[in-house]
Amino acid sequence: MGLFSSSPARSQSSLRYRLVLAPLLALTTACALAIAALMVYYSAIYPNPLSLRPKQTVPYVKILARDGSVVSEHGREDYVPIGMLPHYVADAVIATEDQRFYDHHGVDPIGMMRAAFINLREGRTVQGGSTLTQQLAKNLYLTSDRTLSRKIEEFTLALWLEMKLSKEDILELYLNRVYLGSGAYGIDAAARRYFRKSARNLTLGEAAMIAGLLKAPSRYSPLSNPGLARTRARLVLSQMEDVGFITEEQESQAADEVARSFENSARAEAVGAEYAVDYVMDQLGPAYLAGVAGGAEGLIVETTIDRALQANASAVVEQVITLRGPELNASEAAAVVLDHDGALLALVGGRSYAETQFNRAVKGMRQPGSTFKPFVYLAALEAGYTPDSVVDDLPLSISGWAPRNDNGQYLGPMALRTALAKSVNSVAARLTLKVGPKRVAEAARRLGIKSALAKDATISLGTSEVSLLELTGAYNVIANGGRAAEPYVVRRVRSAKGEVLFTHPDGTPQQVVAPAQIAAMNDMLAATLSEGTGRRAAIPPYAAAGKTGTSQGFRDAWFVGYTAYLTAGVWVGNDDSTPMNHVVGGALPAEVWRAIMLGAHAGRKPLPLGVSSAATAVAGSAHPGERIGDDFFARTMDDTAGSDTGSIGKLLDGQ
């Protein structure tokens, strides 16, 4: 055998290597080509990121709560070039968010693996793996969807940004666009909001406090939670010292400054008002444009928002999703609270404004399920039925459509009051056939439903999509004695010089439902809380009425109800409409509604349903929406755990 001849074993080994390496090489080449193609594609469809720098500041707008306190200020912030910021501002952000910022090229595999290891060790998500560049890519170009394709696009866009921009450019864009709580976008807005100064003049301690907001802007706000904000800022300073950005002496001095920051703070902000502020700005449109066009230096917007009630509603929504959401596969919730004249007191558009600014209370169109049934029953009352009228709970088929009761049982003849309280599907469908879908739709329209509605009997089971705000507004007409009460949030708009540009019109509201029918609706909807599917929403000693709703497949769960003082609506679900784990309107949404309304009624005198708005004004507390403690929601869960409504899994899908 020759000196250089190959043995059969060596040849087989070489073949195996080639069989393994060839596919890997092909896959690597394909990925590289795909990434290169994406780089070209992004350059074609997206503008140069630096062109997104604002050309001028936005006109100034100050938004006030109903008590005259400031909820938000817009337009005074400036875009600050990174060279004009103290170096420790960027250092603080890098230390807490992306310590390897200068060592990676947009995506940091080492940071991702470290975050994954820490999260696995802790058994929960305590650290993210996204780089500052990835966060900027999401901020500039992407939605908040949590899908694999969106995450892949975030990775590739981060690589593209690193090709297009310097590290300093990336930092500058990030610092000027990132959300930092209390309606503040960008470092200068945050500096003015929290410290009443330009970001150019921030101290090291102040920079650390603002950088600490990135983890959870509402939770670590120095205005609403100064203690937590100081603790978080000291951690940021420690991280800055660990990576060598500051000396031990600088850390100690800044920590002393932080310890004194906001130590006497009593300036509790309207925590969680960001969604409400966005809605105010949307509603402001014409007056805002008129004021700007007229040369107004700024606008003062007086709103109906109740500072304490807004804070409480936002806290409850955040708590319920944090505490109960994971086990029930419910990732989002929204809430609306209205005064009986239509004034919007609180609006919560989602669990976390920092993560997604999509306002589910206003823009989320979802199937209301059985919360639509009151319009069916109102149409029946107006056609001559009464709460004691008897209708058969029996199977029926309508041109191939066979609505069924979710428990599969039929109880025969029953009164309308019982059928609505127990959310019986067959009775709602049968009533719709008797009075006609057109009459049901007309009743809904009269109460304020503006969305497109089905023209057949399926309308009875809430198959037509509506928003939480319009549905709550429609219930509010019933609560208001049948008088029109379209929701509104802007009371008055003034120029900075005092000129009144807009005032919400007062006047006598139109009677759109007869008092006799309103009394009957109050009777039937109150039975829902006393003996029907909404028992978990009961708030004794306050009389209350309402309705539960669950869309098909547990995709949406609702509770909308009212007292002599207020009307509130709650929705729970997932943005992508994936099914929840048997969450029905009579469970989680009813419990959230109860927690919000108990806080809102603190100090109020119990009154029966149907009293005049003047009476509620006299009897009402001077401080509606009293803030409840952080443990309130947990105690509320304990209080309702023994309810005879049974477990969530046993409640009816149609409730």
Average pLDDT rounded to a whole number, residues 483-506: 90
pLDDT at 628 over 50: no
Give the DSSP H or E segment for 115: helix 109-122
pLDDT at 585 over 90: yes
User: Which of these, 212, 220, 210, lies nearest to 189 by C-alpha position?
Assistant: 210
CATH architecture of 75-260: Orthogonal Bundle (1.10)
Question: CATH topology of 75-260 equal to that of 307-650?
Answer: no
3-state helix, strand, coil in the chain (%, to 5): 50, 10, 40
pLDDT at 618 over 50: no
Which parts of 499-544 are beta strand (E)? 500-503
pLDDT level of residue 70 (50, 70, 90 thresholds):
confident
User: Which of these, 578, 591, 594, 585, lies nearest to 406 by C-alpha position?
Assistant: 585
Which parts of 379-434 are beta strand (E)? 390-393, 412-415
User: What whole-number distance in Å separates Cα of residue 643 and Cα of residue 74?
Assistant: 46
DSSP code, position 200: G
In this predicted structure, what is the pLDDT of residue 284? Answer: 82
In this predicted structure, what is the pLDDT of residue 497? Answer: 79
CB atoms within 10 A of CB 608: 12
In this predicted structure, what is the pLDDT of residue 633? Answer: 37
User: What strands lie across the sheet with 556-562, from one edge to the other?
Assistant: 344-348, 332-339, 566-573, 556-562, 545-550
Average pLDDT rounded to a whole number, residues 415-424: 96
CB atoms within 10 A of CB 36: 10
Which parts of 426-555 are beta strand (E)? 490-495, 500-503, 545-550
In this predicted structure, what is the pLDDT of residue 9? Answer: 54
Side-chain-side CA neighbours of 291 within 13 Å: the count stands at 26
Average pLDDT rounded to a whole number, residues 239-264: 88
Are 386 and 375 in contact by the 8 Å Cβ rule? The answer is no
- Tokens 């994971």 belong to 326
User: Which of these, 161, 187, 19, lies nearest to 101 by C-alpha position?
Assistant: 161
Average pLDDT over all residues of the chain:
83
User: Which of these, 621, 605, 573, 368, lies nearest to 475 by C-alpha position?
Assistant: 368
First to last CA, the chain: 85
pLDDT greater at residue 39 or residue 517:
517
User: What whole-number distance in Å separates Cα of residue 150 and Cα of residue 43?
Assistant: 18
User: What whole-number distance in Å separates Cα of residue 457 and Cα of residue 428?
Assistant: 9
pLDDT level of residue 109 (50, 70, 90 thresholds):
confident
User: What whole-number distance in Å separates Cα of residue 310 and Cα of residue 344?
Assistant: 10
In this predicted structure, what is the pLDDT of residue 643? Answer: 33
In this predicted structure, what is the pLDDT of residue 631? Answer: 40
**What are the structure tokens assigned to 168, written together?**
């300093």
Average pLDDT rounded to a whole number, residues 562-591: 96
**What are the structure tokens assigned to 212, written together?**
């600490």
Phi/psi of residue 616, each to 5°? -70, -30
**What are the structure tokens assigned to 51, written together?**
């062109």
In this predicted structure, what is the pLDDT of residue 644? Answer: 29
User: What whole-number distance in Å separates Cα of residue 126 and Cα of residue 350?
Assistant: 21
Q: Tell me the pLDDT tens digit for each residue of 4-48.
A: 445 555 555 565 655 556 666 656 665 665 566 555 555 556 666
Domain boundaries, the chain: 75-260, 307-650
445: Cβ–Cβ under 8 A, 6 or more apart, which residues?
Answer: 453
User: Which of these, 583, 632, 5, 20, lies nearest to 332 by C-alpha position?
Assistant: 583
DSSP code, position 85: S
pLDDT level of residue 144 (50, 70, 90 thresholds):
low
pLDDT greater at residue 369 or residue 182:
369
Catalytic residues: 97, 370
**What are the structure tokens assigned to 340, written together?**
């009986």
Tell me which of 3.50.50.60, 3.40.710.10, 3.20.20.70, 1.20.1050.10 is the CATH number of domain 307-650. Answer: 3.40.710.10
In this predicted structure, what is the pLDDT of residue 213? Answer: 93
pLDDT level of residue 645 (50, 70, 90 thresholds):
very low
pLDDT level of residue 337 (50, 70, 90 thresholds):
very high
pLDDT greater at residue 351 or residue 121:
351
Highest-pLDDT range among 74-88, 128-142, 469-483, 484-498: 469-483
359: Cβ–Cβ under 8 A, 6 or more apart, which residues?
Answer: 275, 278, 279, 334, 347, 349, 350
pLDDT at 187 over 60: yes
pLDDT above 70 as % of the chain: 76
pLDDT level of residue 489 (50, 70, 90 thresholds):
very high
User: What whole-number distance in Å separates Cα of residue 151 and Cα of residue 197?
Assistant: 37
Degrees (nearest 5) of the Cα angle 418, 421, 425?
A: 85
